[in-house]
Amino acid sequence: MWLFRSVVGKLWFTILLLVSCVLFILTILLLKFFENYYVQEAEKELTRLATKVSEVMYDYEDEKLARSIAWTLVGNTSKAVIIVDSSHYWYSPANDELHDLPVSLIKQDKDLRKVLTEGKRVKKKTYLPNLQTGKSQYSDVIIVGVPLEMADGKRGAVFIYQSLRAIEDTTEQTKKLIFLAAFIAIVLTTFFAFFLSTRVTAPLRKMRQAAFEVARGKFDTKVPILTHDEIGELAMAFNQMGRRLQFNINALNQEKEQLTSILSSMADGVITFNREGEILITNPPAERFLQAWYFEQGNDAETMAPLPPQAKELFVRVVREEKEQSIELTLQGRTWVILMTPLYSKTTVRGAVAVLRDMTEERRLDKLRKDFIANVSHELRTPIAMLQGYSEAIIDDIAATDEEKKEMAKVIYDESLRMGRLVNDLLDLARMEAGHITLNYETVQLAPYIGRIIRKFQGLAKEKQIDLSAECKNEDIKIAIDPDRIEQVLTNLIDNAIRHTDKNGMVKIIAERSGDGVTIHVQDSGSGIPEEDLPFVFERFYKADKARTRGRSGTGLGLAIAKNIVEAHKGTISVHSKLHEGTTFTFYLPNGPHEA
């Protein structure tokens, strides 16, 4: 029942049961007390009457008068018998409630006959099954006997007996009063129990509702404090608990957000594993690593492994040996270094955390540094060897004529110039990459500026029978640039185009306005650049034609220097090429600050 599932019902039932038990015990004690009290009072009254009758019978010589007075004293509620001997005894007048007590019954009863034989007073409550009335049967009577001494010296006894019906009637009335009082007490107890329970449980119900609200995440829920007793203190403690929970949850959320922000903003990837090797937490760089691994596996979901085998083996070693481990692996063309450390729960390993660092750029820079040293050594080795060889030939007088000596000296001079250009290009490139380049802006008329530059290459173009031309799609283009630096860019691009274009080919410079700046294209119909080499054309020491003779090739630094000059102008440079069809270099220059 719902009543016994609630605190109100339990309290009401407990109080009601307690009151009922108390009333039941009290009723039994009271009934026993009243019964004993009435019996004792009846015995005292009957004893007094019997003694009075005995005195009357002794005082009056006239027996009839004495008996008349005795019967008057006895009254209608009791019955009396005066026994002198076996043949002389008298009963009080007839009573509707009681019949005469047989003398034989008195003589047969061992207690009652003591009055006749021993002259003792006797009080007895007995069960008399043969004592009947016309209407009812009464088995319980109280009999009091006192000795009797007549004026003539005869001895007998006076017995007065009374039915316990009166006592039973009194007991019944007492029961009714007790039951009425019990009923009133139960009603009042029920009322006050419900009132008390409601007073006690109303705050508890509010606390229960507030607890459900807190369980749903509303930690700012408050319980009204209506009293200052234990329940009020409980409500105060509940509110303090809610505030503390709110504070702790906010602190945890802030810490979680802080950790999430730190993980998300980290350049390195982070993956957390449990002891079974399952992934728990990742950040964006780690997700990119995992996506690269999934892409490399393909779309076969049934056989897809969560981690590369090398990383899985690393995790097993970390958990087994309980110490830091690291590996380096290549995935989708990128190099990753994985550093994995065990995570502890007190003294046992509960998992591991892996830090993934993308080392592609570092490895590329290492390769570039090694390639740079190798390329510089390679570029310097030939001119140094030629300088050394021709100088030894001159010293050893190998040249027989002055003309041969001049030719050797000319070779030494050309190689020294080539070495000087190489060193100067390296120094210029180093300054540009360090940001130390200084631009001297001037406003130039673009068409005559380009025309002046290509005139320097007309002799070389005619020699190779190459058509060298320029075209300005917009008339009167003016732009603020560093003319010396941009001339260096154009010289390098035009020189490369002529050197890589065969006989009867074409080299064309096209300039056009593009927004606030200008875009310049250098086109040729030469041999072109292989597609796999296009991403590297602006690297240092890059040469598309590996088989080209060293005498006509450059240092391999020209395009790298050109790119740095264009980017110093806040511009961009790109290349498009098809093998055996030609190459187009395009660079955009924004309008720089005008000269003062």
Q: What integer is the mean pLDDT of 307-323?
A: 88
Residue 112 token pair:
């009652």
> Is the model's pLDDT at 581 over the cut of 70?
yes
Q: Give pLDDT, residue 265.
A: 83
Residue 589 token pair:
């220059």
294, 293, 291, 288: which is closest to 268 by C-alpha?
Answer: 288
Which of the two residues, 88 and 357, has the higher pLDDT score? 357
- DSSP code at position 129: T
Question: Under DSSP, is residue 12 helix (H, G, I), strand (E, B) or coil?
Answer: helix
> Is the model's pLDDT at 259 over the cut of 80?
yes
Mean pLDDT for the chain?
81
Q: Give pLDDT, residue 304.
A: 63
**Domain 266-424 homologous superfamily, CATH:** PAS domain (3.30.450.20)
The whole model's pTM is what?
A: 0.44
Which of the two residues, 594 and 246, has the higher pLDDT score? 246
Residue 69 token pair:
């007075």
Residue 158 token pair:
């006076």
Paired strand residues for 147? 157
> Is the model's pLDDT at 301 over the cut of 70?
no
Q: Give pLDDT, residue 136.
A: 44
Q: What integer is the mean pLDDT of 31-48?
A: 84
Q: What is the CATH number of domain 442-590?
A: 3.30.565.10
pLDDT band at 2 (very low <50, low <70, confident <90, very high): low
Q: Give pLDDT, residue 303.
A: 59
- DSSP code at position 18: H
> Is the model's pLDDT at 332 over the cut of 80?
no
Q: What integer is the mean pLDDT of 395-408?
A: 78
Q: Give pLDDT, residue 36.
A: 83
CA distance 180 to 174: 10
CA distance 507 to 524: 4
**What are 181-216's pLDDT values in tens digits?**
888 888 888 788 777 777 777 777 788 888 888 888
Q: What integer is the mean pLDDT of 38-45?
A: 84
pLDDT band at 506 (very low <50, low <70, confident <90, very high): very high
User: Minimum mean pLDDT among 220-229, 301-310, 534-543: which range?
Assistant: 301-310
CA distance 172 to 166: 10
Q: Give pLDDT, residue 467.
A: 92
Cβ–Cβ under 8 Å, residues 290 and 282? yes
CA distance 145 to 112: 7
> Is the model's pLDDT at 596 over the cut of 50?
no
Measured between its terminal Cα atoms, the distance across the chain in Å is: 99
**Burial class of 232 by CB neighbour count within 10 A (0 to 12, 13 to 18, 19+):** middle
> Is the model's pLDDT at 160 over the cut of 90?
no
Highest mean pLDDT among 78-92, 112-126, 488-502: 488-502
**Domain 1-216 homologous superfamily, CATH:** PAS domain (3.30.450.20)
CA distance 279 to 237: 41
Question: Same CATH topology for 1-216 and 442-590?
Answer: no
Q: Where along the chain do its domains lie?
A: 1-216, 266-424, 442-590
